[in-house]
Amino acid sequence: MTKALLLSLSFIILSLTSAYSQTELDTYLTNFTYESRKEMKISSKEIVQLLLEDKAILVDIRFEEEQLAWRMEYALKMPLPTLPQRYSELPKDKLIVASCPHKDRAIMAMMYLRSKGYQAAYLKDGLLGLAEHLRGDRANEFIKNLKN
């Protein structure tokens, strides 16, 4: 009897959670505009400036093994599969910029975060584009200014 009750309660909770999440996504999509389309993308040049101004958080959503293979020390590590459990760690008063090597997973993360009420964007040229942007003197200046 106890197992059946627990199983029934689990099913009800899962159903309610799923319905709530679907409603959030429905709302996000229903309210999507041309302005939303512009706001969902950010370039490497723009994110560098926002990070220096402490107006954004760069979230590295790559798998843990990818993060270990090459690092972006100034990014918050939050692999995509952990996002549903960890998104509440993110501040609501800053732009959250999801990033991965290209942009496929970052777009999913951005959409998920927006459905949860976050101001979120994805890095349109990906972490590879950011690494290309932050070469030589630009990297030197960025790291110096980021620490100040």
- The Cα 132–Cα 52 span in angstroms is 18
- The Cα 109–Cα 102 span in angstroms is 13
Per domain, the residue ranges of the chain are 1-31, 39-147
CA dihedral 49, 53, 56, 59 (to 10 degrees): 70
pLDDT score for 2? 58
Higher-confidence position of 19 and 124: 124
- Asked if residues 45 and 133 have their Cβ atoms less than 8 Å apart, the reply is yes
Where does 1-148 have alpha helices with state H?
A: 2-30, 34-39, 44-52, 64-69, 83-86, 104-115, 126-133, 137-147
- Chain segment 79-92, per-residue pLDDT in tens: 999 999 999 999 99
Mean pLDDT of the chain: 86
| Topology (CATH level 3) of domain 39-147 | Oxidized Rhodanese; domain 1 (3.40.250)
pLDDT score for 3? 57
Q: Work out the number of other CB atoms within 10 angstroms of the CB of residue 113.
A: 22
- Chain segment 30-67, per-residue pLDDT in tens: 888 898 888 889 999 999 999 999 999 999 999 999 99
